[in-house]
Amino acid sequence: MVNRFDVVGFGALNVDTLSSVNRIVGPDEESFIEGFTESCGGSAANTVVGLARLGCRVGFVGKVADDHAGKLHMNNFVSEGVNVEGIVHSKSGRSGVALGFVDKNGARALYINSGENDTLESREIDLEYVAATRFLHMSSFVGERPFRAQKKLAGMLPDSIKLSFDPGALYAQKGLSVIEPLVRCSYVFMPNILELEALTGEVDYRIGADAILGMGVEVVVVKLGAKGCYVTDGREQCVVEPFVVKAVDTTGAGDAFNAGFLYGLLNNKNNLYECGRLGNFVASRSVMMKGARTGLPYQKDLTTIH
């Protein structure tokens, strides 16, 4: 089969309503809102938009309602060059929304109202659509039905399709034994350092990454935030230094990293270090502007990497 896509994303679709606040508060504390924006989000969705801007052929599997938020997603995907034929539409209910709060240092807090995301079932997924890609990139859902659909689909993938998996905090909180079916099917596993510790119980991310490799994963990428990333395939291990920039908003930084790293794998970059460097670059551009997608770079911007 001729690959129609380089990457198909599979994850929740949420409209991010981001409020700029003077500080992120704890229990029984108060803060105030200084500004408000509305933009399309969802981890895997952010990643495929990032890949589309880098010139990749991308599609998406997800679910929206026929409402304001759902139409925002469809229009944004089309404008970014993301194929939308794999998205399921519900005539009732509501699309997902993520309520985000970002402080002056770029730190954030996020609350998810899942809506139709959590009604997606495996029978609604077009298997021929998914079968026409080189990579399937999965991210988390809140609900159990789409999680079951992801596990079922991952177990059905032919060897020609490589699974990329970013568990996010939601799936990391489930525990490794629960998400194990997805981990074992993954070619590349891309948690951040806190998610890896939650899953493996290892404070040392190198030991945690080795534990994941032991489950059959080919490549483990640990996102270290301001310290860059750690990449290993069991033979090659490297810490890739970050690009130092002023962070305005870290929303979607990990998703942006995923786009850069996958771009490297798709384009046969010489080594994992180069893939990690691409991931760090795309993430660095992302955090320089508000919103998960606004700062995502285009293919022409890659020429500025030194």
Encode the chain (306 residues) as per-residue pLDDT tens digits.
568 999 999 999 999 888 899 999 889 999 899 988 888 999 999 999 999 999 999 999 999 999 999 999 999 999 999 999 999 999 999 999 988 888 888 787 888 899 999 999 999 999 999 999 999 999 999 999 999 999 999 999 999 999 999 999 999 999 999 999 999 999 999 999 999 999 999 999 999 999 999 999 999 999 999 999 999 999 999 999 999 999 988 889 999 999 999 999 999 887 999 999 999 999 999 999 988 899 999 999 999 887
* Beta-sheet pairing, 188-189 with 162-165: parallel
Parse the chain into domains and list their residue ranges: 5-13+42-95+115-297
**Which residues, 6+ apart, have CB-to-CB distance to 177 below 8 Å?**
none
SS3 136: strand
**Which residues, 6+ apart, have CB-to-CB distance to 13 below 8 Å?**
40, 42, 45, 60, 62, 63, 64, 73, 87, 95, 96, 117
SS3 53: helix
CATH 3.40.50.10320 given to domain 5-13+42-95+115-297: no
> Given the structure tokens 């293919």, which residue do they identify?
299
pLDDT, residue 218, reads 98
pLDDT, residue 2, reads 63
Sign of the C-alpha dihedral computed for residues 197, 16, 46 and 130 taken in this order: positive
SS3 87: strand
Cβ contacts of 201-205, under 8 Å, gap ≥ 24? 205/230
Q: How far is CA 189 from the centre of its chain?
A: 11
